[in-house]
Amino acid sequence: MIPPVRRLAAVCVLGAVLAACGTAEAPRAAHPAPAHPSPTRPSPAQASPAVSRPPTLAPGPAGQAPVFAHAPRTRDKTVALTFDADMTADQGARAAAGERFDNPELIASLRASKVPATVFMTGRWAEEYPVQARAIGRDPLFEVANHSYSHYAFTDDCYGLPTVEPESMRADVERAYAAFRRAGVPDAMPYFRFPGGCYDGQALRAVRGSGVTAVQWDVVSGDAFATDADAVARQVLEGVRPGSVVVMHCTLSAAPVTERAVRVIVPELRRRGYRFVKVSELIGAVEGRR
């Protein structure tokens, strides 16, 4: 979960070309602002030829995972709403006691408004809510992407999150894909969002072996721990530009006003001429320009 403090300092943004994320030790990507061992997934080459492969980006410099934060700014008024389904590996007891890490009302609202979205899901969330994970993953309106298995940080000093050891980073990503498959989501996208949005060169190199593109954002909603839906909506509406990726949350107990904010955001962006797309469409648009 991304805390509701800090503002965007620096994100590796892929514009017309994949650029700047690429020194041997890339700086930790600050959030655009705070918002917060298993079978290996088959490689794209092993996928059935009958299934269209999702768009991916070229490898980053020095063998690092590529990083995507928004599409090149054009007149094409598209925007991707993304929702992090956070659940840390050690929160099972809290869920058993009734804490809600899901938000079915939000998903129902997106369906009712016919809004495509990308859900960055932790493996632990998929284990806790397998029926919901399967329903989201099989709904063509949505796509499921990877937010790690444990929601432990991939760098030190990441909003107080526990950390994953460097040698376990790739396994954590792949463990999440295994959890998705067990929940009935066999075709999760090859996109990965770092817990807390925190990463560095070591983390990018570690996850590269899983064949993922790291997906950040350029618009932070501020919905985490927020109590004012209108303030969340204003923050999104003030930040969106053509090609934007908006980060929000699908975790009711920690982001209780998200669904209400979405009911303001969606009609207003449509009024402004925006079209909602999934992250794969934005990445596909970038690849189409290469």
Per-residue pLDDT of 43-78, as tens digits, reads: 333 333 445 678 899 999 988 999 999 999 999 999
pLDDT > 50? residue 100: yes
C-alpha 162: how far from chain center:
19
Whole-angstrom distance, CA of residue 214 vs CA of residue 225 = 25
With a CB cutoff of 8 Å and minimum separation 6, the contacts of 101 are 85, 86, 87, 91, 95, 125, 128, 129, 251, 252, 253, 254
Integer angstrom CA distances of residue 177 from 19, 82, 99, 182? 28, 18, 24, 9
Share of the chain above pLDDT 90, in %: 78
Cβ–Cβ < 8 Å for 115, 143 = no
pLDDT value for 289? 73
Whole-angstrom distance, CA of residue 266 vs CA of residue 283 = 21
pTM (predicted TM-score):
0.85
Mean pLDDT for all residues in the chain: 86
Backbone angles phi, psi at 222, to 5 degrees: 75, 20
pLDDT value for 25? 34
Question: Which residue do the tokens 């991707």 mark?
Answer: 80
Full set of structural domains in the chain with CATH? 97-289 (3.20.20.370)
Q: How confident is the model at residue 290 (pLDDT cuts 50, 70, 90)?
A: low
| Comparison of pLDDT for 23 and 96, the residue scoring more | 96
pLDDT > 70? residue 28: no
- Nearest residue to 158 via CA among 77, 207, 88, 92: 88
Whole-angstrom distance, CA of residue 226 vs CA of residue 264 = 15
Backbone angles phi, psi at 112, to 5 degrees: -65, -35
The burial class, CB within 10 Å (0-12 / 13-18 / 19+), for 281 is: middle
Backbone angles phi, psi at 247, to 5 degrees: -100, 125
